[in-house]
A and B are shown apart, each in its own frame.
Chain A
Amino acid sequence: ETGVTQSPTHLIKTRGQQVTLRCSSQSGHNTVSWYQQALGQGPQFIFQYYREEENGRGNFPPRFSGLQFPNYSSELNVNALELDDSALYLCASSTGLAGGLEQYFGPGTRLTVT
């Protein structure tokens, strides 16, 4: 069984630029959630995709957007990067609303904005 994978591992961007992060969900999972984890803090929910539709959103501005593809992989896009966007971005997959609640996390993408 393949776990959740994310790419790239690390990324350095300049303030004002745009970034795309990618996630492949665990085999058999159709739901993907994205979280932002600042240093020393717990992860914060950004949004969730279920069957290619956004299914819930946390307290993040519209410049954070996403996509889910038919194979259930997902992208997180962040426009107009700010210094405070520097964080570990985590993707988690699960079996969907009719299944179990457990979310399984990938290794994360470390984004640094300078």
Chain B
Amino acid sequence: EDQVTQSPEALRLQEGESSSLNCSYTVSGLRGLFWYRQDPGKGPEFLFTLYSAGEEKEKERLKATLTKKESFLHITAPKPEDSATYLCAASSGSARQLTFGSGTQLTVLP
């Protein structure tokens, strides 16, 4: 059974304090690894897709990386507006359905 585990569950940072979020996955026939941002009461917002180990993608203060067993979302010099829940998901199967982790709730304090 496909499994995606995220850590930590919650993370509180001071503005400007860089950190990383972890996503471990056990998926048969991985087609892609996704990162989404979700604000309270809203749908997930697409951030990145990673397809193969060693791949990296960047967007503003965020950088996502992928190994054969894990993905990391690095946040450099975060701002309060980066506060949200960050979800990791793996795509597999004929329907390429997404298997999500439970998310990391990030709070950035001013």
Interface residues of A (CB under 8 A from B): 4, 6, 33, 35, 40-45, 48, 50, 55-56, 58, 88, 90, 92, 94, 97, 100-108, 110
Contact = CB atoms under 8 A, between A and B. Distances in A.
Nearest to B4: A42
By secondary structure, the B interface counts as strand
Contacts, number: 70
Interface stretch (B67-75, B76-84, B92-100): B92-100
Nearest to B44: A105
B27 to A, nearest CB: 13
Contact of A42 (B93, B97, B101): B101
Nearest first, the 8 A-B pairs at minimum CB distance are A56-B95, A42-B100, A105-B43, A45-B97, A48-B95, A101-B32, A105-B44, A107-B43
B7 interface: no
Interface of B: 4, 6, 31-32, 34, 36, 41-46, 49, 87, 89, 91, 93-103
Contacts of A104: 46
A101 B96 contact: yes
Contacts of A41: 102-103
Given A41-B102, A42-B89, A90 B49 contact: no
B102 A40 contact: yes
A55 B94 contact: yes
Contacts of A58: 97
B103 A42 contact: yes
A101 to B, nearest CB: 4
Given A102-B34, A102-B49, A107 B42 contact: yes
Contacts of B102: 40-42
B94 A43 contact: no
Contacts of A101: 31-32, 34, 49, 91, 96
29 contacts: A33-B95, A35-B98, A35-B100, A40-B102, A41-B103, A42-B6, A42-B87, A42-B89, A42-B103, A43-B100, A50-B95, A55-B94, A55-B95, A56-B95, A56-B97, A88-B41, A90-B44, A92-B98, A94-B96, A97-B96, A101-B49, A101-B96, A102-B34, A102-B49, A103-B34, A105-B36, A105-B44, A106-B43, A110-B41
